[in-house]
Structure 1
Amino acid sequence: MFEWLGISAYALFGQLLIGLINGSFYAILSLGLAIIFGLLNIINFTHGAQYMMGAFAAWMLLNYLGLNYWWALAIGPVIVALIGVALERVLISRLYHLDHLYGLLLTFGIGLVITGLFRNYYGSAGLPYPVPSALSGGTDLGIMFLPSYRVWVICISLVVCLATWALIEKTKLGAYLRATTENPALVEAFGINVPRLITFTYGFGVWLAAFAGVLAAPMYAVNPNMGIDLMIVVFAVVVIGGMGSIIGSVITGFSLGLIEGLTKVFYPEASSTVIFVVMAIVLLVRPAGLFGRSA
C-alpha cells in the first residue's frame, strides 16, 4: 500500500505505535509539570529524577520485597509522591514568594543530587524489569505486530490524563486549586487550608511522574539517567502546549509523539529535532503556546 513511497506498512505502523508510546509518556510527564507550574508557579526540574525514581521503586519492590508489577503500579508512585511532599514542605515551600528562577535552580539541584545518589549506588548500567505475564505477548494484525503491554501503556495513559483533566476542571477540589492560583488569601478566608492544598498539588504532580516511571520500567532499562534526555523533550512539549495548560499538555504530548514517529519514517535524520523545530515555530506564531493564555 505504501510501497510507492518506498515505505512498508510494517515500518509505518510500527513507528506510529512507537510514536503513540512516546506520546503517552510525554503527555503524563508534561501534565505533571503543567499542574505544578500552573497551580504553584514552580518550574519543577526534579520531574525527570522523580520519573526515574518511579521506575526504581518498581524494581526495588520486585527485587527486595517480591511485589509484582501491579503492586508496584499501586504503591510505587505513592512512595515517590510522599518523598516529593517531604521535599516540598522542607525546601520548595520556602521559595513560593520569590522569583521563578530560585525554584528552577533549587529543583534542578535536587534532581542532580537524586540522580547522582542513584548512579553512585546502582551504576549507570540498566537493570531489567520483566513485563507482567498478563500483558506479555501480542497480536499480529498483518500490517504490524501489536505488543499487549504497549497497548496497555497507551490506554492507561489516556485514562490517567483524562481523569486528571476532569479532576482539575470539573470537581470542587479542582475549583479550589484553580482559585488558589488567583487569590490564595480569599480561598483561605473560606476555611480552606491553602498550604495543604499546595502540598497536595505538588505531590500529585510527582505521582504522575512516578506513575510514568513504573509504566516505563518493563519497556526500558531501569537506570539513573533515564529521565535526563526525556525531560528535555517534555519541557518542549509543555512550552508548545502552553505553560500550565492541562488539556494542552495532553493533546500536545500525544500529537508530538505521532509527529516524531512519522518523522522517523519519512525523514529519520530530523526525528531527534522535529519537536524543537515545532516549538520554535509555535513560539514565533503564538508565544504563550497553543493552549496557553496570553499575558
Structure 2
Amino acid sequence: FVMAVGILMERIIIRHFYSRPDEDQLLVTFGLSICFVEVVRFIFGSLSLTVPPPKLFAGITSLGFMFYPTYRLAVVGIIAVALLALFLVLYRTRLGMIVRAGIEDSVMVSSLGINVYRVFMIVFGIGAMAAGFAGIVNAPVVSLTPDMGEAILVQTFVVVVIGGVGSFPGAIIGGLIAGEIISITSMINPGYAYVMLFAAMTLVLVLRPHGLLGAQSRG
C-alpha cells in the first residue's frame, strides 16, 4: 500500500521537480510528509499506541560491559543489512547504474532508449515502501503516533544536508556525525542536543555549501 501511494505521489507531484535543484526535491518531499501526518491525524486521531517488540527479540542482552535491549540490537542489524543491500543495488546492479546515470544526465540516458522516468517512479515507490518498513521497525522503540516520524524527519534532513544531497556515502557519514552529536550532547545536557546538531549543520554549510560529499546542484 505504501509503495502504491509513493508511486502515485511521484507521478502527480515529484516528477515535475526532477529538472530542478536537489534542494527543491528535498523540500517538496518534506512538505508532503507534513501533509500526510495531518491526514493520518485527522483519520485516526492523535492517541498513541504502544507496540511490544517481537517475542524473539524481547528482553535484555549482555554485551559484557553493559546491558542493552535485544530488540535495539536487532534494529542495528536490520539497518546494517538494509544499507548493504542498498549499496549493492546502487553500485553493483544495472538498475543502480541507470539510476545514478539518470540523476546526472537524464537526457543522455533517455537517448539510449531507457525510460528514465519509469525507473525513477519505481525507485521512489521502493523508497516509500522502505520508509513504511522503517516505521514498522521503529514502532516498538517509540510510541505509535501520527507524528512519530517528525523528530526522525528533522534529523534526516540534517543528515542529508551534512552528508550532501544525492550522496549515499555522505548520508552514512552524516548519519554517524548526527548520531554522535545527539548522543554526546544528551549525556551533558539533553536540552542542547538539537542546538548542537543544527550548529554542526550550519558549520558544514558555511565551509562546504553542498555538504561533505555532495556535488554541486544541477539546475
Are positions 1:138 and 2:60 aligned together? Answer: yes
Q: Which residue of 2 aligns with 1:256?
A: 178
Alpha-carbon distance, 1:99 to partner: 6.8
Partner of 1:86: 8
Unaligned runs of 5+ in 2: none
TM, length-normalised to structure 1: 0.67
SS in 1 for 2:48: coil
**1:272 and 1:163 mapped to 2: Cα distance?**
30
- After TM superposition, give the deviation of residue 103 of structure 1 in Å: 5.2
Give the secondary structure class of the aligned counterpart of 1:204. Answer: helix
Distance 2:23 2:163 in 1: 21
Tell me the amino acid that sits aligned with residue 181 of structure 2. Answer: I
Describe the shift of the 1:265–1:172 C-alpha distance in structure 2 as closer, same or farther (beyond 3 A).
same
Instruction: State the Cα deviation string for residues 14-42 of structure 1 (Å, max 9, x = none).
Output: xxxxxxxxxxxxxxxxxxxxxxxxxxxxx
Q: 1:117 to 1:257 in 2, by over 3 A?
A: same
Q: What whole-Å deviation, never above 9, does each CA across 1:187-243 have from its counterpart, x for those lacking one?
A: 223221212111012112222322211111111111111122321221111100011
Go from structure 1 to structure 2 and tell me whether the alpha carbon gap of 1:94 and 1:241 turns closer, same or farther (over 3 Å shift). Answer: closer
Identical pairs, percent: 36
Is 2:192 the partner of 1:270?
yes
Q: Counterpart of 1:273 in 2: which secondary structure?
A: helix
Q: What's 1:228 paired with?
A: 150
Matched, 1:242 2:164: yes
RMSD: 2.3
Query: 3-state DSSP class of the match of 1:212?
Result: helix
Partners of 2:27 and 2:212 lie apart in 1 by 27
Displacement of 1:100 in angstroms is 6.6
Higher deviation after alignment, 240-249 or 261-270 = 261-270
- State the AA in 2 paired with 1:196: R
| Unaligned residue ranges in structure 1 (runs of 5+) | 1-78
User: Among residues 75, 93, 103, which one is paired with 1:153 in the alignment?
Assistant: 75
Matches within 5 A, 1:94-173: 94-97=16-19, 107-141=29-63, 143-173=65-95
Aligned pair count? 217
Q: Which has the higher contact order (CA 8 A, sep 6+)?
A: 1
Using the TM superposition, name which of 151-160 and 161-170 deviates more.
161-170
Counterpart residue type for residue 126 of structure 1? S
Match of 2:109 in 1: 187
Deviates more, 1:100-109 or 1:251-260: 100-109
Amino acid at match of 1:168: L
Distance 1:102 1:253 in 2: 21
SS of 1:224's equivalent in the other structure is coil
Q: For 2:81 and 2:50, locate their aligned partners in 1 and report how far apart those are by CA, in whole Å.
A: 27
Greater alpha carbon shift after TM alignment, 164-173 vs 99-108: 99-108
Q: 2:158 and 2:164 mapped to 1: Cα distance?
A: 10
Asked whether 1:284 is paired with 2:196, we answer no
Helix, strand or coil at the partner of 1:206: helix
SS at match of 1:163: helix
